[in-house]
Amino acid sequence: MTSLRIEKHPVLSFPERKIVKFYFEGKEYQGYEGEPIAAALHAAGIKTLRYSPQKNRARGFFCAIGRCSSCIMEVDGQINTMTCITPLAEGMQVKMQKGHGYIKP
């Protein structure tokens, strides 16, 4: 879908997967169903996933296996979602998390 997706690899092959639509900050994107949200965003060229609570610093993913919490975002209204291990699904609303995020009362 983008140039960051590996098309040819000497060792690995990546199976065809279903393409789904999702939304990042309200704008429509495409990714593969079931891949991590952070991976789909990365392939779409989006590396900044949130801004840190104290110094408002841009943050991306780091460990990609759900250990470090660098990739937490708001997904379908749920803050602190670890997007590096949460599978992408059709129609997901993904938003950058600003600081600690906001829970609707």
* Residue 50 beta carbon to another protein: minimum distance, rounded to whole angstroms: 9
Closest CA to 30 of 1, 60, 69, 70: 1
Using CB under 8 A as the binding rule, whether residue 79 contacts another protein is answered as no
Residue 83 burial class via C-beta count within 10 angstroms: exposed 0-12, middle 13-18, buried 19 and up: buried
- The dihedral of CA 60, 14, 20, 79: what is its sign? negative
* Binding range to another protein, per CB under 8 A, among 18-26, 32-40, 72-80, 97-105: 32-40
Under rule CB under 8 A, residue 19 binds another protein: no
Positions touching another protein (CB under 8 A) are 4-6, 8-12, 14, 35-36, 39, 42-43, 47-49, 52, 57-68, 84-85, 87
